């Protein structure tokens, strides 16, 4: 087991990458704190873990709120005695996120509060407990759009993921000699509820799909395997880096035949 006797905190654990990662981390021996604003989905993830014989607990959290982020970290300590893996995965992709002219300021602010401030607050409260626990790994979910403009406009989301990528590098340097590694996981387009709700027409789906050299959307379970690599000792000499798992989209400059 790659995560035996480790404690992991995963935000956005009610669905998608977060749920698949919670399940995989538990299978690999970790005790998991599942944090999400979606109480029903988060509790379902915990139930799934426990049905497989794993150890998990749910906490309802709005990652844009400092008190909520402190609460989830405190729970990791009181329930499981520490924290070794912090996966700041929670994020939103608002349906009204478009170009700079038609995106409302409120949509931009909400996106930045969840996607960027949420990562900051997770680290603010989580990293001290990782230090206290002897070190570990921080994983922040960025995106391929930190490198490429999206074919379907989403100005707030794109800006937020660029910020997460930059913040991850900064955090990695600050904590490099404290036995804490910080890396960003940057998925390509995935067949998750988050993206499928945004690409809500076949035209939008095809507009995104045509740019992916592998010719398909990725799956949340594939991202969970990438997150496991960053969480465990297999990536022990990796920090301040980005793991692009994107079906080749950032390597392509023309649409493949």
Buried b (16+ CB within 10 A) or exposed e, 201-221: eeeebeebbebbeeeebbbbe
253 catalytic residue (yes or no): no
Place of tokens 């989580």: 126
- Cα gap 116→103, rounded to integer Å: 18
Residues 236 and 26: beta-carbon distance below 8 Å? no
- Catalytic residue, from 87, 144, 157, 198: name it: 157
CA distances from 135 to 47, 177, 190, 232 (A): 28, 10, 31, 12
* Token duo for residue 164: 């997460």
> What residue spans of 30-137 are helical by DSSP H?
39-51, 66-80, 105-112, 118-132
> What residue spans of the chain are helical by DSSP H?
16-27, 39-51, 66-80, 105-112, 118-132, 155-175, 193-198, 202-209, 220-231
Query: What are the catalytic residues?
Result: 157
């Amino acid at each position: 087991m790659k995560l035996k006797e480790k404690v992991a905190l995963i935000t956005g654990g009610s669905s998608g990458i977060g749920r698949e990662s919670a399940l995989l981390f538990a299978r690999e021996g970790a005790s998991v704190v599942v944090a999400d604003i979606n109480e029903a989905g988060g509790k379902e993830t915990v139930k799934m873990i426990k049905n497989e014989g794993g150890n998990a607990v749910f906490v309802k959290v709005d990652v844009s709120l400092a008190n909520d982020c402190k609460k989830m970290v405190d729970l990791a300590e009181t329930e499981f005695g520490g924290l070794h893996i912090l996966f700041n995965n929670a994020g939103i992709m608002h349906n009204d996120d478009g170009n700079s002219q038609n995106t409302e300021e409120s949509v931009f602010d909400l996106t930045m509060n969840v996607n960027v401030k949420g990562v900051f607050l997770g680290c603010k409260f989580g990293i001290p407990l990782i230090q206290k626990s002897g070190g570990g790994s921080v994983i922040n979910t960025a995106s391929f759009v930190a490198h490429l403009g999206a074919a379907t406009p989403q100005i707030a989301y794109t800006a937020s993921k660029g910020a997460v990528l930059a913040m991850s590098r900064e955090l990695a340097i600050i904590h490099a000699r404290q036995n804490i590694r910080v890396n960003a996981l940057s998925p390509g387009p995935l067949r998750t509820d988050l993206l499928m709700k945004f690409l809500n027409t076949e035209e939008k789906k095809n507009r995104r799909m045509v740019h992916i050299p592998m010719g398909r959307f990725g799956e949340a379970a594939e991202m969970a395997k990438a997150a496991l690599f960053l969480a465990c000792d297999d990536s022990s000499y990796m920090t301040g880096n980005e793991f692009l798992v994107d079906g080749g989209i950032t390597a392509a400059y023309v649409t493949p035949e």
